[in-house]
Amino acid sequence: MADELAISPGASLRVVSRTERELVLEARYAGGGSPPPAHFHPAQDERFEVLAGAMRARIDGRESELTPAT
């Protein structure tokens, strides 16, 4: 796996750390981009932390705006 992957214009993923139990990625998205396709991970947890800016997320049909924790 490459350390950084361009997934679309204005969006990239960077591997922060990788072990047998955990994969930590840093994603960068340009404003106004398209969301990823609907999906879920039956055997994994997925967690997001907004470092800068804001991100809209739809989880179980409910939309929220996520911002950096202060």
Q: Is 70 exposed, middle or buried (0-12, 13-18, 19+ CB in 10 A)?
A: exposed
- Is the model's pLDDT at 70 over the cut of 70? no
pTM of the model: 0.66
CA dihedral 9, 56, 52, 27 (to 10 degrees): -40
Q: What are the pLDDT digits (tens) for 24-43? A: 989 888 888 777 777 788 88
pLDDT at 46: 83
Q: How confident is the model at residue 2 (pLDDT cuts 50, 70, 90)?
A: low
